[in-house]
Structure 1
Amino acid sequence: MDARPTDPAAAPAADRVRRLRPPWTTSVPLLAVVALVLTWGRHAPPLVVVVVALLLAGAVLAAVHHAEVVAHRVGEPFGSLVLAVAVTVIEVALIVTLMVSGGDSTATLARDTVFAAVMLTCNGIVGLSLLVAGLRTRVAVFNASGTGAALTTVATLATLSLVLPTFTTSRPGPEFSAPQLAFAAVASLALYGSFVVMQTVRHRDYFLPVAADGEAPPQDEHAAPPSARQARASLALLAVALVAVVGLAKVESPAIERAVAAAGLPHSFVGVVIAALVLLPESVAAARAARRDRVQTSLNLALGSAMASIGLTIPAIAVASVWLEGPLLLGLGPTQMVLLALTVVVSTLTVFPGRATLLQGGVHVVIAAAFVFLAASP
């Protein structure tokens, strides 16, 4: 027999304590900002570097969580757009921060990070989503019109921004001249803006989830959309988390480069680390959507992130190049161009039928693995 006293006020008091205790998605960004204030401009010992790295990863996860809250409020496909833009802001912040602190050694960082994001999204996230959906429903179904339009835009952006610099002759090496870089930046913004209008206004139905019979899949067990007040709070915390990510990336940048060098990896692998860091939470979100038979949402996330990575990063880097010292090398090498061409061809064959199986998912995952392997062992 339980002899513990039963106080009627005990349960309500415990509930009040639980409500007052901030969740990790609130406390981690705030702790990250505190860590940023304490470590900014100082040499951090190894233990502090580890703590800052954990807070940086937590701030990234918190930022994506709050982006998902806002996305759940505004609905699909706006939700995928919010998440993709939030992730890209993190990526751009990390690139610019590392380039400012790295000098000439980071001349290829923007190229390496953007290309890594394209390969990891178009192959890693797409492949993972198709595998998850294929294991659950045997055949993953999506809208070929919307996904094909996204893939076309990604391929065009990648060619204009990452392939052409290798073949232009105004500057020696894989580098744009100032007018060429300005054109690439304006073209990237124009293409990305046109796609966003298509996705959210003109042809929104192309980007909504579909089931095997072509209709919308049944509603899953999602929680009710957050209130406007909760969405505003998440928007504010998203801004705090992004500030923390930018600042802590500046603090961590020497440690990231030292770790890559200590592992015997080429300096270009830093770009893969950055892309993997910012895309990991999005990969989880895409896999969850695929498990709920919403492959279209997964593909929106993957291709939308690839598109935003180029369409927003290149203009930001073009503006930053005004005060950045040293060259800005954007052109891909032969191995990278082969992988990009293979990705475009395979993705086209995957998207065209509007249906995919485990085989297509496995092919994309293998291409992603080949990219990571060749980045570590060029």
Structure 2
Amino acid sequence: MKISIERNALLRAVSQAQSVVERRNTIPILSNVLIEAEGDSASFRATDLDIEVVDKATAMVERAGATTVAAVTLHEIVRKLPDGAQVKLTDDGASGRLTVEAGRSNFSLATLPKEDFPVMATSEYTANFSAPAPMLRRLFDKSKFAISTEETRYYLNGVFMHVAEESGGQVLRCVATDGHRLARIDADLPDGAATMPGVIVPRKTVGELRKLLDDDDMQVAVSVSESKVRFATPEITLTSKVIDGTFPDYTRVIPAGNTRKLEVDAAEFAKAVDRVATVSSERSRAVKLVLDEDRLVLSVNAPDSGNAEEELVVAYGDEPLEIGFNAKYLLEIAGQVDKENAVFMFNSSGDPTLMREGNDTSAVYVVMPMRV
């Protein structure tokens, strides 16, 4: 194999690949990226056996071929090369070495046989559809903060992507929860997605997927089966196993009867929570909300470190209410609001609270209260 490729194109391809690779590996080949050169492009494939990413880049291919080389090492070399450099990758197949040349820099890296590289088995996808990158970005960005990190409840360690019934028809929905807070985000159902099985997209996959979705004009091809999900752009294909488990019935925890309505400027609210939480103990970070007519008092009482209180002018016309929340959860939920106003719907100090952006019900958040 002998190819010449522009440094920036190579860096983009290799950085996507090396981020999938696990740093500590008992199987050496899994630390490597598989480079395949043919025609006028080179593809860079990496896997951790659960996720596989293939990134294509335009290259001048003098001699077609394939080899595998340490992904992290190659990434570090390319990252340190000067911008705009032409990089030559040469593998003669006999020496077990890949030569990397750019200008006066010359590196020789150990390779492993391409035959040893595990390629993820192709799956029969039951649903194939196309979705705009901004839509997918919104679905996953606004839900991922609520993914559980508790390994014992593995079925909560991802985002549940599925088709849901709403009064206006079917929607594409992403839900995540860790038992303390929940995010439910809806988008218009793309053509061809109606037959999609509900799948739990793992946390790591959600993080890798985010890197594919920066271009606002791009359409992403999505394929879903019972065991795998695939997201493809013209350059990058990300394939992942889905979490083998049943996502709980989240509809039971979304309160429908909360009538006490608080409307507050989301940015001001987040800043005030952040300020008063400065004195709270790290363990609980409890913030008390005291609601009265058009007035909200946020307070923290931390016997070890001190007290804090801040008052905000809000729109609230119901009975007075005192309720406590984990400050981190409040900040994360308030941080999802793109519009100016956050609307909180309360029932009592012991019941889950619902939050949405203004009158928009396509993004709904639930947070459990704390005793304060």
TM over 0.5: no
What TM-score comes out, normalization by structure 1 length?
0.20
- Structure with the largest fraction of helix: 1
What TM-score comes out, normalization by structure 2 length?
0.20
- Structure with the largest fraction of strand: 2
Larger radius of gyration: 2
Higher relative contact order (CA 8 A, sep 6+): 1
